[in-house]
Amino acid sequence: MDGAACSSGILPAEAWDTGASKEDQALARAICRAACPCLRQCRQYALGPSGVSVGGIAGGLSEGERQVIRRNRKQAAGGLPCIKRP
């Protein structure tokens, strides 16, 4: 996205990718959340339809965080069965 923190050169492009170190990903996430004017649009895209696949940090969220949000949305909408515990 034009004007996004991840395209500004603040950090090397690799810092936003899946293979980045935990430290780089934490820094990328912090920059994204604190300084990116495109955060909302990016997050909407990254959490969009299940066909959209975005790796690394996007919308201030890691891949794992986005998976949890998607799963919770499906469960809240009745798309996933609730697990009954004994």
Q: 45-63 burial, b for 16+ CB within 10 Å, e for fewer?
A: ebbeeeeeebebbbbbbbb
Flag whether 83 is in a domain: no
Distance CA 75, CA 77 (A): 5
What is the per-residue pLDDT across 13-30, written as a single tens digit (0 to 9) for each? Answer: 899 998 899 999 999 999
Q: Into how many domains does the chain fold?
A: 1
Supply the pLDDT for residue 60.
93
Backbone angles phi, psi at 61, to 5 degrees: -125, 145
Range of the structural domain that residue 41 is part of: 5-76
Tokens of 75: 């469960």
Q: What is the pTM of this model?
A: 0.79
Backbone angles phi, psi at 50, to 5 degrees: -60, -20
Flag whether 57 is in a domain: yes
